[in-house]
Structure 1
Amino acid sequence: MGLGGGLVTFFLCLLFFAAPSASSTNLLPIIPFDEGYAPLFGDNNLVIHRDGKTVHLSLDERTGSGFVSHDLYLHGYFSASIKLPADYTAGVVVAFYMSNGDMFQNNHDEIDFEFLGNIRGKDWRIQTNVYGNGSTSIGREERYGLWFDPAEDFHQYSILWTDSQIIFYVDNVPIREIKRTESMGGDFPSKPMTLYATIWDASDWATNGGKYRVNYKYAPYVAEFSDLVLHGCAVDPIEHEAKCDNAQTSKAVPTGVTPAQRIKMENFRKKHMTYSYCYDKVRYKVPPTECVINPQEAERLRKFDPVTFGGGRRRHGKRHYRSRGSQAEEAAAF
């Protein structure tokens, strides 16, 4: 590696181990698309705008579209401001996620934000999910409504991934925290991953289990991405070694959700969470070992859906549905 490459790696390490806080994340460097990303698929359905820092991904009858980061990363803070398509969006899925499925087909890791479209008059839903070491038999999905219309303006969606935790943020508000436990074993994402953004036709499952499909008379469906942040340790694509491992003891490494953030997170989950795998008694007679059961959450979800969260008999053939491993439906109003 030349001197220039070494300096780039050095500064990436400094950036990563300066912990992003709710007040500092907006100060992170936003790099032009061409410096950090490349088109993944979709040809002309991917369009770069505004000094190379805003990207439009569209879905039409011909194809969806997507982009991917140049580099692999092992841990970091990854963020984008996203404006979703408006009007009738049933069957449409916009995803902002990390994965290494192209390298580890049988034991891949994944950290997902998935945005699920809906029929006219119904809100977009947001879903988070995590896989580790190919643990796709255990879907770790949670699903939420939002306190705003994500098609009206840009909002920031972020992933913090360290060796001990994963935190999902919406507009700097933590909405979900996953702490690595010994019982998870290899199910916690621990291999280098690439960052992806896509829009695609998921008519078979995304809206009411496939009842409502993509209607291409409303196409093109356009998702706008801006303020793209890659704030992590790049990994050598051959050796798969992170360049920042020697700084793991830095006091600036994120240590978790602050007390003030935890209040916001609990309020969000109380008002907006409509599904959590930990409470799904239809799928799991016994919750997966990493689940920490909150009695208040359990009771609220049981009242919301007595069948799924109360373990009653399911009628009319209603069932759960998958995305990359996603299941369950419905959203809540603020």
Structure 2
Amino acid sequence: MPSCLLFLLFISGFPSSTAFNLTTLTFSRSFSPLFSDFNIKTSHHDKAVSLLLNRLSGSGIISSDYYNYGFFSASIKMPSRYTAGIVVAFYASNVDTFEKNHDELDIEFLGNVKGHAWRFQTNVYGNGSVSRGREERYRLWFDPSKVFHRYSILWTPFNIIFYVDEIPIRHVGRHAGMQGDYPSKPMSVYATIWDASSWATDGGKRKVDYRHEPFIAEFRDLVLQGCVVDPIDQLPSSNCTAEIAALMALDYSTITAHRRKSMQWFRQKYMYYSYCYDNVRYPVPPPECTDVPLEREMLSNGGRRTEGKVSGRRGKGGERRSKAAKHQTAR
């Protein structure tokens, strides 16, 4: 039986996306252009936006507000055909306000050569901790360029959960040992597509091929939930008490026993790099890491899958790119 069918059977009892009870927003109400507005196309009903990458530039959008914790979500469809060197990102950050000590929560999709699947990674950075790095990388059980799937980031004072559709794929609980590395300052929400030829595919060996331009990433069903704040407001966070309480009361703000089983299945099947098991970078695992014996066994090659543990080619974890590159043109 195909693995994708097995997976669908496995999650057949899992709550549908409607269980999230999401209120979607129009583009003009929730976002504005970040760069290269000539490569940003909105739908006629203002409920969807397409970001283009061509030989002139990539493109990006930014939320109209900053949020002190929140739930950020979008249904996304990736570019198709040859996508090597391309990165599509959906993330929260405050780098534009706190340049030297910014926080960031990333979902980054990494393109590939024709016939090879998209991959993606999640990153957690707090207080400028990009040099320490908290990256994980995964494959998907579907082709993200064929149909829309929902990708979400839940961020509370106590935990961070990344979702693909209704499936939690990563949970980071706040640990006292993280200190300022746990993201805690107000963040904007971004979506971008850009040329990452220097690192995104086979360590930079495969570049963007502009004979296939334009590359189009489509976003719809935009969701921004949280407490809207002034990022440099000096008032204590208690002014968001009610909104944070409402956020934490959401069904998807916790990992139930059923969701934990789904998350463990996904990670054991599709995760191919985790910093928690990278004993080269971290001889002592970071404090928030929880040792899972099955994960440790499958990621015994310096945090990477050993040969024969995953289908397809092995990826390389721990690679990092300059955030400023998101705002650069392809030339």
Pairwise TM-score range, normalised by the shorter structure: 0.7 to 0.9
From the superposition, tell whether residues 229 and 25 of structure 1 become closer, same or farther in structure 2 (CA, over 3 Å): farther
Asked if residue 244 in structure 1 is aligned to residue 240 in structure 2, the reply is yes
Give secondary structure in 2 for the equivalent of 1:297: helix
Q: Distance in 2 between matches of 1:39 and 1:310?
A: 39
Aligned length: 296
AA paired with 2:278?
D
Aligned to 1:182: 176
* Aligned 8 A contact 1:282 1:309 in 2: no
Q: Distance in 2 between matches of 1:123 and 1:293?
A: 29
**After TM superposition, where is structure 1 displaced by more than 4 Å over at least 4 residues in a row?**
21-26, 240-243, 246-251, 307-311
Asked if residue 286 in structure 1 is aligned to residue 247 in structure 2, the reply is no
From the superposition, tell whether residues 182 and 238 of structure 1 become closer, same or farther in structure 2 (CA, over 3 Å): closer
Aligned to 2:111: 117
| Residues 161-184 of structure 1: CA deviation (Å, up to 9, x unaligned) | 000000000011000000000000
Aligned to 2:219: 225
Aligned to 1:155: 149
Asked if residue 78 in structure 1 is aligned to residue 72 in structure 2, the reply is yes
| Residues 223-282 of structure 1: CA deviation (Å, up to 9, x unaligned) | 000000011111134526554225655682665201111111011001000000011122
Asked if residue 201 in structure 1 is aligned to residue 231 in structure 2, the reply is no
* Aligned 8 A contact 1:66 1:197 in 2: yes
Q: Distance in 2 between matches of 1:114 and 1:31?
A: 22
AA paired with 1:288?
P
Give secondary structure in 1 for the equivalent of 2:124: strand
Q: Distance in 2 between matches of 1:22 and 1:185?
A: 36
From the superposition, tell whether residues 47 and 294 of structure 1 become closer, same or farther in structure 2 (CA, over 3 Å): same
Q: Distance in 1 between matches of 2:305 and 2:53?
A: 38
Identity %: 53
* Aligned 8 A contact 2:275 2:318 in 1: no
AA paired with 2:125?
Y
Asked if residue 40 in structure 1 is aligned to residue 37 in structure 2, the reply is no
Give secondary structure in 1 for the equivalent of 2:28: helix
From the superposition, tell whether residues 106 and 81 of structure 1 become closer, same or farther in structure 2 (CA, over 3 Å): same
* Aligned 8 A contact 1:281 1:310 in 2: no
* Aligned 8 A contact 1:298 1:309 in 2: no
| Residues 46-99 of structure 1: CA deviation (Å, up to 9, x unaligned) | 000140011000100000001000100011111000000011100000000000
* Aligned 8 A contact 1:209 1:320 in 2: no
From the superposition, tell whether residues 272 and 50 of structure 1 become closer, same or farther in structure 2 (CA, over 3 Å): farther
Give secondary structure in 2 for the equivalent of 1:257: coil
Give secondary structure in 2 for the equivalent of 1:136: helix
Asked if residue 132 in structure 1 is aligned to residue 126 in structure 2, the reply is yes
AA paired with 1:138?
R
Q: Distance in 1 between matches of 2:67 and 2:194?
A: 24
AA paired with 1:59?
L
Aligned to 2:294: 296
Alignment of 1:64-75 (within 5 A): 64-75=58-69
